[in-house]
Amino acid sequence: IAEKKPDYLLILAWNFARPIIAKTQWFSDAGGKFIIPIPKVEVV
């Protein structure tokens, strides 16, 4: 992830989305966004 620098990351484990986002704050700081498709589609 750090090498390829994608614009978005898909989080399928929606119930763990907040801890995952917190642990990968560097991705958000670099301008990356997260897609959480369940229970409703959300881009953060």
Cα separation, 40 vs 36, in Å, equals 8
What's the token pair of residue 34? 């997260």
On whether the CB atoms of residues 41 and 35 are closer than 8 A, the answer is: yes
Q: What is the pTM of this model?
A: 0.85
- The residue extents of the domains of the chain are 8-43
Cis peptide before 37 (omega within 30 of 0): no
Q: What is the per-residue pLDDT across 1-44, written as a single tens digit (0 to 9) for each?
A: 878 889 999 999 999 999 999 999 999 999 999 999 999 999 99
First-to-last CA distance in the chain?
17
* Amino acid of residue 40: K
What is the three-class DSSP state of 2? coil
